[in-house]
Structure 1
Amino acid sequence: MALHIGRRRRTTTEEAPARRPRPWPRRRPAAGDAGKTAVVERKTPRWRRSRPNPISAMIMAAGWAAAAVLALGMLLTWGDANPGNALVDAVLDAGRWLATPFHDAFTRTDPEEQLYINWTLAAVVYYVLARALSWMTRF
């Protein structure tokens, strides 16, 4: 049974509540027609009309990839993966390169804790930046 928060489930004996009329489409008289009415459709907002184009999709993919590399690097560090492995070394090198601007944003005595905090900050910033740039490049 599904949980409905804020709604009461109607039984068959209850009547449906009366619906209020929507404020759109508004009816306004046209300039030349005194007795006739014209329907004016409301335009949807620009952010709902826009669709992702290939450029904005690539920007979002780059943001997701940066966040994923940083998250994978944190996961490998947390799991004490062997840094001598080529795959682990490549992921950690890419993560270090991506987190370079955030290297000393927060300093801690424990180097792993410092890595987790700074790399999380880097991942969030890259994702938010990609999201904003992707939104701005939509047509």
Structure 2
Amino acid sequence: MAVSILRRRQRTEGAERPTVVERRPSRWRRARPNPVSVAVMAAGWVAVAILGLGMLLVWGDANQGNALVGAVLDAGRWLASPFHDVFTQADPDRQLYVNWAIAAGVYYVLARVVSWLVRF
């Protein structure tokens, strides 16, 4: 945590002496993360990672018959289900990229806000 230091000149008994005034950071910067806020932020990052990995697997034409690829894509479909038809495109892969990217952004912002609110 960085503390900014201001120097002021103060006249005392004919001599100038610098005094150091420390400013405290604002309240939202002073709040320390607690285990609940860390868990909320970790869940948000996991959701973003699953959606991002799913987009990479679709972009790379991964074998969807593979158990690991299928599990990642199923989890991604479940996470992105509220954003399924936000934007419709002629190309289904492009539609997946756009909607899953929006879902990842919303999950990240939502996790940040909830994590910040839980800190107080």
Does the 8 Å CA contact 2:41/2:115 hold for their aligned counterparts?
A: yes
- The structure that is helix-richer by fraction is 2
Q: Based on CA coordinates, which of the two structures has the bigger radius of gyration?
A: 1
Query: Which residue identity lines up with residue 65 of structure 1 in the other structure?
Result: V
Segments of 4+ in structure 1 off by > 6 A? none
1:95 aligns with 2:91: no
Aligned residues: 105
- Secondary structure in 1 matching 2:6: coil
TM-score by length of 1: 0.70
Does residue 22 of the first structure (1) align with residue 6 of the second (2)?
yes
Q: List gaps (5 residues or longer) in structure 2.
A: 9-20
Q: Equivalent residue of 1:22, what SS? A: strand
Calculate percent identity across the aligned residue pairs: 68
TM-score under structure 2 length normalisation: 0.81
Measure how far apart 1:44 and its partner are.
3.1
The answer for unaligned runs of 5 or more in structure 1 is 1-20, 25-39
Normalized per residue, the structure richer in strand is 2
1:71 equivalenced with 2:52 (yes/no): yes
The corresponding residue for 2:87 is 106
Assess if the C-alpha contact under 8 Å between 2:83 and 2:103 holds in 1: yes
